Amino acid sequence: MNKVYFIILTILLNACGDSSQLSNQREDSEKTKTSLQQAEHEKLVAELKSKIETLKENESKLVDKIKKLEEINLQNSTKIKEYEATDQGMWIQAITLVDSNKFEEAMGLLDSIIEKFPETDIRKQIDKKKKEIKANEAKRWKTLEKSFATLDLNNKMASIAAYLSESLLPEQRTLAEKKDVEFKIEWEKNKAEREIESETGAKVQVIETGWKWVQCDDEFMGPYIKLKVQNTSNKAIEINISADFYKGNESIGNADKDIGGLFDPSLKAGKFQTITLFPCWGSRNDLIVLNIPSITAEIKVNKMPLRSVAVKKKAVGYPSF
């Protein structure tokens, strides 16, 4: 029995010894691991310090290069400014302005060359270029002016506004500004026309005034107005157009026309027609007088005032029927 206890005790003691040995081994392993980690850390720190030093050196070199480049740039800028102040330099700048459609600035610079360098060797070139610019700009204005004949008022105003936004010679700018004023006056003048068109779909324009020798009952008709009526809507329209005629403040009659009445079909979308309105007024003696008094006509569309027009064209000759 004692022998058995002794064996068990021996086993337990051995087990304790093994456990202590394992614990020591574990501690040694942890120390080794920590030592390796510290060494690795120190290595990384050393590498980073080395890289930082290298970056600082490179930064210093870059700063030096930048300073040198700035010095070179300053020197070049000075040389460029010096060259630009010469007649050749100013000439190149003027040509660049012409290529950029900055004609007003270019002409100013060309004049400055002559003023600053009256004996310049490029005087002939300058004079030739100035004539060329003036001729081209005059031609460009004429082309724009001709295009107005094919444009409505909105597009005319847009075209002249775009032209005025450009760099122009004084002569062309003056002409364009006058034309711009004309268009704006016409725009205001046609305000009622636009409102009526919006309301009725009919664009009504006066295209002619004058005197006609036509027998009207037992009298002779005198003044007349001719209108163009255009349907700008997308459906047929029916409207009434009337005109009250005056000699000064004296009423001399009126006339009206229905479009879409019993015998007049509606005006189809996109179509137009011309109509002539006149009062039955005037005697044979009135009409053979060449200097007939001024007559005005107050035009209305669906009783909305359109405009007042003067019959300026004078009668010539004697009526014959």
For residue 210, being part of any structural domain is answered with yes
Whether residue 164 sits in one domain with residue 205: no
Residue 224 is predicted with a pLDDT of 86
Whether residue 206 sits in one domain with residue 125: no
Question: How far apart, in whole angstroms, are the C-alpha atoms of residue 41 and residue 38?
Answer: 5
For residue 59, being part of any structural domain is answered with no
We report the CATH number of the domain holding residue 220 as 2.60.40.10
Whether residue 280 sits in one domain with residue 245: yes
Whether residue 307 sits in one domain with residue 205: yes
Whether residue 165 sits in one domain with residue 212: no
Q: Provide CB contacts within 8 A for 207, sequence distance 6+.
A: 226, 227, 228, 274
For the chain, what is the domain count? 2
For residue 81, being part of any structural domain is answered with no
Whether residue 233 sits in one domain with residue 138: no
Whether residue 242 sits in one domain with residue 155: no
Query: Domain end: 187, 209, 238, which one?
Result: 187
Question: How far apart, in whole angstroms, are the C-alpha atoms of residue 240 and residue 260?
Answer: 8
Whether residue 203 sits in one domain with residue 183: no
Whether residue 183 sits in one domain with residue 95: yes
Whether residue 219 sits in one domain with residue 155: no
For residue 128, being part of any structural domain is answered with yes
Q: Provide CB contacts within 8 A for 92, sequence distance 6+.
A: none
Residue 241 is predicted with a pLDDT of 95
Whether residue 99 sits in one domain with residue 177: yes
Supply the range of the domain harboring residue 240: 199-311
Instruction: Say whether pTM exceeds 0.75.
Output: no
Whether residue 143 sits in one domain with residue 109: yes
For residue 297, being part of any structural domain is answered with yes
Residue 77 is predicted with a pLDDT of 77
Query: Domain end: 146, 166, 187, which one?
Result: 187
Residue 203 is predicted with a pLDDT of 92
Query: Domain end: 164, 187, 210, which one?
Result: 187
For residue 111, being part of any structural domain is answered with yes
Strands 219-231 and 239-247: unpaired
For residue 321, being part of any structural domain is answered with no
For residue 20, being part of any structural domain is answered with no
Q: Which residues of the chain have pLDDT under 50?
A: 288-290, 315, 317-321
Per-residue pLDDT reduced to its tens digit, 125-139: 999 999 999 999 999
